[in-house]
Chain A
Amino acid sequence: MTYNLTALPQLRLLSRQQCEAIHLASLEILRRTGVRVHHREALALLRQTDAIISDETLVRLPASLVEWALKQAPSRIVLCRRGTNRAAIRLEGMEVAFGSGSDCNNYLNPYTGTHELFTAKTVVDCIHVVDALPEISFCMSMGVP
């Protein structure tokens, strides 16, 4: 007998069938209830498909259209290091990359321990921290200066 000789902890929540149940429920929402699209160009795009548009902006999508779109999108994305072709993050398989968040008003200043409004300088300080930490792979703005 051959064994897989690595034991890898994996968290399971939804079974394949349960994912499918959620998928089908969403298809039913798109078929029956539809979405409002308040964007002229997007409506024009949708008009060229099997989508049904009523009341100017109410768009109902048939399952075939959704499933076509799912087949078009690529299964992996690579984000590179600035100015190089070296992958910094591979959005694929078992890879997990961490990054900061965006657009906070408040900055908890570690020098003073108090909350203050973000400035351009403190946004730069935060970006430097992200750049320095090997555990953090990508950056979002963190603060609105």
Chain B
Amino acid sequence: MTQATHALPRMQMMSEAQCELIHQASLEILRSTGVRVFHRGALDLLAHAGAVVSDDNLVKIPPEMVEWALRQAPSRVALCRRGSSQAAARLEGDEVSFGTGSDCLHVLDPRTGLHRDFTVKDVVECIRLVDALPELSFCMSMGIPSDAGPGSHYRRQFALMLEHTVKPMVFVCNDRADCEAIVAMAAAVAGGPEALRLNPNLLLYSEPSTPLRHSETATDKLLYMAEVGLPITHSPAPMMGGTAPVTLAGGLALGNAEVLSSLVMHQLRRPGAPFVYAVQVHHLDMRTMISVYGAPEYQLGRAMSAEMARHYGLPIWGNAGMSDACAMDEQAAIDSAVSVLGALLTRTHLAHDVGYLEGGLTTSPEMIVLTAENIAMLRHFAEGASLDAEALALDLIHQVGPGGDYIAEKHTARHFRDYWQPRLFSRQRLDDWIRGGQKRLGDRLRDKTLALMESHQPEPLPQGVWQAIDDILKKGDA
């Protein structure tokens, strides 16, 4: 008898039959209710392909069009290191990569412990922090700098990311013109549009408008990314109880219909263009009227969304390392750990929002560093354990026998370093901890964050490339 000699923890929530139930529900929504598409070019594409368009822009999509689109989209995406063909994040199989979130107004300054507006300097420091931490594989802008100057802040954020990290970038932008400028900057670094398509170091995050609407600008971005063959996640954020039914199944079926209708337009524009799946279903807290991140239902939503993506054979976009807490406190630490574990166990290929506090209005460099520690720790959990003969060690157990010990054994010497060692978490006992100054996690976290921010030097961009980026930025400002 052969048996798998590695035990791997996995979370499963929906069966294949249950995923199919959601799929059928979404197909029914698209067939009978339809979506509103406020984009002329997309309406033409859809009508030409067999969708039924009425009342100007109400599009009803037959199931065969959706299932055609699902067959076209690729099963994997590789995001590359800046200016190289080396994959930095592989959206496939059991791979899970983590990255930050985008566009916070506030930074929680680790030097002062105070919230304040983001500046260009803060954004640069945060990007460098992402570049420094091996647990993070991609970067989003984190902050909107209040001192960015004229022009599109999205372009400026992207230029800052290109300059200060070699890691792939997920960008957000206003419109197609932003996309074009950002792709041009990335192409300048990659060595041209073809090289960028083969070795993409960027992915666009954009959203349809729940419920069941595709705005002109969002659809414009969706079709542009398809045209240039660069990856996009066009991810709805149904707010259960607000823009979506209050129940998870309804929220997911609705959001899934929005993703599928996005995918149809995307694949009609260019069959085979890379598309990353997500339904960021979450709920409206009726007491505070806010969208909740740190909720058990939020984690259920991530798991169900990931399972739908896997059901479709599409790469998976999700979230981790964020909290509703305003301070870098215990609540934030718990939300970080729970969400990181969820992303790992559901094999979410790209998990973003690392470092978000205040439900995504504040980025905290300390939350980024703490989440990196959680990622390192929980990866050891997600990697499971070996059950092979070396790990079972039956001969050794016999040789040591009842009452012996293992500390001096060669087997121990071979394997004791396999255990995960924390960098931030304390394993001291009371006397040592008191002698060491009684430092709490928050104290150690601040020290480590400041040390990283002050010491890390990212690899510089070649001078000529920087000139090309600067020209693109200036053209936008003009």
A interface residues with partner B (beta carbon < 8 Å): 1, 3-4, 7-15, 17-18, 20-22, 25, 28-29, 32-36, 58, 106, 115
Cβ-neighbour of A13 out of B9, B17, B401, B403 (below 8 A): B9
Verify B394–A13 contact, CB threshold 8 A.
no
**Known contacts A7-B18, A9-B11, A9-B13, A115 near B398 by CB under 8 Å:** no
Verify B394–A29 contact, CB threshold 8 A.
yes
Verify B9–A15 contact, CB threshold 8 A.
no
Q: 1/0 contact trace for B185-228 toward A, CB 8 Å?
A: 00000000000000000000000000000000000000000000
Verify B12–A12 contact, CB threshold 8 A.
yes
> What's the minimum C-beta distance from B384 to chain A, rounded to whole angstroms?
7
* Secondary structure type dominating chain A contacts: mixed
Verify B384–A8 contact, CB threshold 8 A.
no
* Secondary structure type dominating chain B contacts: mixed
Cβ-neighbour of A18 out of B3, B10, B397 (below 8 A): B3
Chain B CB within 10 A, most for which of A9, A18, A36, A106: A9
> What's the minimum C-beta distance from B270 to chain A, rounded to whole angstroms?
34
Q: Does B327 contact A (CB under 8 A)?
A: no
Docked complex Cα distance between A36 and B384 (Å): 32
Docked complex Cα distance between A35 and B392 (Å): 17
Cβ-neighbour of B398 out of A11, A17, A29, A35 (below 8 A): A29
> What's the minimum C-beta distance from A80 to chain B, rounded to whole angstroms?
29
User: In the complex, what residues of B have CB within 8 A of residue A106's CB?
Assistant: 430
Cβ-neighbour of B402 out of A8, A22, A25, A36 (below 8 A): A36
Chain A residue nearest to B303 in the complex (CB)? A9
User: In the complex, what residues of B have CB within 8 A of residue A4's CB?
Assistant: 15, 17-18
> In chain B between 300 and 316, which residues have their CB closer than 8 angstroms to a CB of chain A?
300, 303-304
Docked complex Cα distance between A21 and B3 (Å): 8
Docked complex Cα distance between A11 and B14 (Å): 12
Docked complex Cα distance between A29 and B399 (Å): 11
B interface residues with partner A (beta carbon < 8 Å): 1, 3-4, 7-15, 17-18, 21, 300, 303-304, 345, 384, 387, 392, 394, 397-398, 401-403, 430
User: In the complex, what residues of A have CB within 8 A of residue B345's CB?
Assistant: 11
> What's the minimum C-beta distance from B53 to chain A, rounded to whole angstroms?
32
23 interchain pairs, CB-CB under 8 A: A4-B15, A7-B14, A8-B13, A9-B11, A9-B13, A9-B300, A10-B11, A10-B12, A11-B345, A12-B12, A13-B10, A14-B7, A15-B4, A17-B3, A18-B3, A18-B7, A21-B3, A25-B392, A29-B398, A32-B398, A33-B402, A34-B402, A58-B402
Verify A17–B4 contact, CB threshold 8 A.
yes
User: In the complex, what residues of B have CB within 8 A of residue A18's CB?
Assistant: 3-4, 7, 387
**Known contacts A10-B12, A29-B394, A3 near B402 by CB under 8 Å:** no
> What's the minimum C-beta distance from A81 to chain B, rounded to whole angstroms?
28
**Known contacts A17-B3, A21-B387, A33-B401, A11 near B9 by CB under 8 Å:** yes
**Known contacts A36-B402, A106-B430, A25 near B394 by CB under 8 Å:** yes
> What's the minimum C-beta distance from A73 to chain B, rounded to whole angstroms?
24
Cβ-neighbour of A12 out of B9, B392, B398 (below 8 A): B9
User: In the complex, what residues of B have CB within 8 A of residue A34's CB?
Assistant: 402
Verify B12–A33 contact, CB threshold 8 A.
no
Given contacts A4-B17, A17-B1, A20-B3, 17 further A-B contacts (CB under 8 A): A7-B300, A7-B304, A8-B13, A9-B12, A10-B13, A11-B9, A13-B7, A13-B384, A17-B3, A18-B3, A22-B387, A25-B394, A32-B398, A33-B397, A33-B401, A34-B402, A36-B402
Docked complex Cα distance between A59 and B270 (Å): 72
Cβ-neighbour of A115 out of B304, B402, B430 (below 8 A): B430
Docked complex Cα distance between A1 and B20 (Å): 11
Chain B residue nearest to A13 in the complex (CB)? B9
Docked complex Cα distance between A7 and B18 (Å): 8
Docked complex Cα distance between A28 and B303 (Å): 40
